[in-house]
Structure 1
Amino acid sequence: MLTFLKNHPFAVQSFFESSLVLTFSVPKEELQDLIPDCLELDVFKNKYAFIAVAMVQTKGLRPKRFPKFMGNDFFLIGFRIFVTYTNNKGKRLRGLYIIKSETNKKKMEYLGNIFTHYNYTTTDINHYNKHHTKEISSVKSNFKIELDTSENDDIPLPEGSPFKNWKEARRFAGPLPFTFTYNDKTKEVLIIEGVRQNWKPKPVKINTYHVNFLETLKLNNLVLANAFIIENIQYYWKKGRKELWN
């Protein structure tokens, strides 16, 4: 019963007030051991793989078709690897594999760990706005990100990015259509499809960042490849579906 509950047994909807995603490039060999055998790294130029830090302010998160007053507002942080999965029909799906999840409320940790495999933990989340900058930080998780909020249409790619332009970089801006979980004991892949409307990520400039979790992974040559933000978007996740991986 508990296993069934963790497999996203119903659709969930929310409103994203904002979603800030920083995507880092890494030589593909360094991420290979962090994903299960059923998945493949989604690579660029057959050289770079990508890991993203997504920070999402949700509003009214609830089972789909439940009334708004039953929703809850949470701040979510997800550490995700860009991957592909070839399903039993031979179709190649692009998506994300989550390696760590955090939230600002115990209620989300409790419910998230009943209905998903994302292993949520609770942390402090602090927001600070000042002239043309915004800071998101956590003392417990030891991270701090400062972004430039000034209106600027000529934002350069981060220094050292493998992309030539923002059009190339947009291909590796989350979230992607699918998220995958793998049960090694049953050899089952859980596929969760996200549905969004008017998804138009805007490039943002990151002034400074420190993300302790990324440092614990001991990755060499980790480079900020892009950063995008979206605001005021309706979003929902379909009920999870499983298939055996051979």
Structure 2
Amino acid sequence: MNSPLKNHPFAVEAFFEYSVVLTYAVPKDQLKNLIPECLELDTFDEKWAFVAVALVKTKALRPKGFPKFLGNDFFLIGYRVFVKYTNASGKRLRGLFILKSETDKRRMEFMGNIFTHYNYSTTDITLVKQGSGMLIKSLHSDFTIKIDEAEGEIPLPQDSPFTDWKEARRFAGPLPFTFTYNEINKEVLVIEGLRENWTPRPVKVVENNISFLQTLDLKGHVLANAFVITDIPYHWKKGKIEQWEK
């Protein structure tokens, strides 16, 4: 379906109660076939490309300027690849390419698939907090993520390619832009997100079992970093379409 409605026809705003993002480093050759021709992988050390799994508790998602009571509260899981795009004016933009999105609300699936290309589906999502720990799981989607936000120094994941958290923070989504590509018309849809109070905090990942990553048949991928952010006002501008030429 190539309806113009799917091209983010209006600005949207929301409030992120919290967002947990796990980023996996993958040998770059394994991700090339997952992104369209107009994009290139955002790499590190000329070896690694990255897939992020973002779990976001969102409140009052609505067209920008609408009252909050008309918004939707939902949980979002997004699977994204870190990419770069050179726009029509020659500027190089860092952003994300969406592989799949899941939500706990059928209304959000319905509306999301009308106004975006993000491939929403509905699933069960359970979240349990206990002390400094948080468990997020789904039986239908077959994932379990357990993190610990205990205070104190948190080490990077054991096999992370990064040397410190400052280096790792460069690959802590979401990034400023998200891209969609219409291969038939050779058109790139650019969506810019704007955020406030953006301070990612490193967290320890106690458990991470995510079946969707297994369906990608990745080999040699490792957990590279994990961050949490809380209480973030966020909005997306209306989508902008550019013609792409090789």
Calculate the TM-score normalised by the size of structure 2. Answer: 0.98
Structure 1 segment 42-121 matched on structure 2, within 5 A: 42-121=42-121
Q: Report if the CA contact (8 A) 1:123-1:138 is conserved.
A: yes
> Match for residue 187 of structure 2?
188
Counterpart Cα distance in 1 of 2:243 and 2:20: 34
Question: What is the Cα deviation at residue 149 of structure 1?
Answer: 2.5
Q: Report if the CA contact (8 A) 1:27-1:47 is conserved.
A: yes
Counterpart Cα distance in 1 of 2:163 and 2:87: 32
Counterpart Cα distance in 1 of 2:171 and 2:132: 26
> Match for residue 8 of structure 2?
8
Counterpart Cα distance in 1 of 2:238 and 2:44: 30
> Match for residue 177 of structure 2?
178
Counterpart Cα distance in 1 of 2:130 and 2:57: 19
Q: Deviations over 1:5-51 (max 9, x none)?
A: 00000000000000100000000000000000100000001110000
Q: Deviations over 1:146-184 (max 9, x none)?
A: 0013222x0000001000000000000000000000000
Q: Deviations over 1:95-147 (max 9, x none)?
A: 00000000000000000000000110000000112233110000000000000
Counterpart Cα distance in 2 of 1:60 and 1:208: 30
> Match for residue 34 of structure 1?
34
> Match for residue 239 of structure 1?
238
Counterpart Cα distance in 2 of 1:35 and 1:184: 11
Question: What is the Cα deviation at residue 2 of structure 1?
Answer: 6.3
Q: Which amino acid aligns with 2:177?
A: F
Q: Which amino acid aligns with 1:184?
A: E
Calculate the TM-score normalised by the size of structure 1. Answer: 0.98
| Residue identity (%) | 63
Counterpart Cα distance in 2 of 1:216 and 1:187: 28
Counterpart Cα distance in 2 of 1:169 and 1:160: 13
Counterpart Cα distance in 2 of 1:5 and 1:190: 12
Q: Which amino acid aligns with 1:244?
A: Q
Moved over 3 A (4+): none
Counterpart Cα distance in 2 of 1:130 and 1:232: 19
Q: Which amino acid aligns with 1:144?
A: T
> Match for residue 148 of structure 1?
148
Q: Report if the CA contact (8 A) 1:2-1:114 is conserved.
A: no
Q: Deviations over 1:183-225 (max 9, x none)?
A: 0011000000000012010000000110000011110011000
> Match for residue 202 of structure 1?
201
Counterpart Cα distance in 2 of 1:193 and 1:90: 17
Q: Report if the CA contact (8 A) 1:9-1:239 is conserved.
A: yes
The Cα RMSD (Å) is 1.0
Gaps of 5+ in 2: none
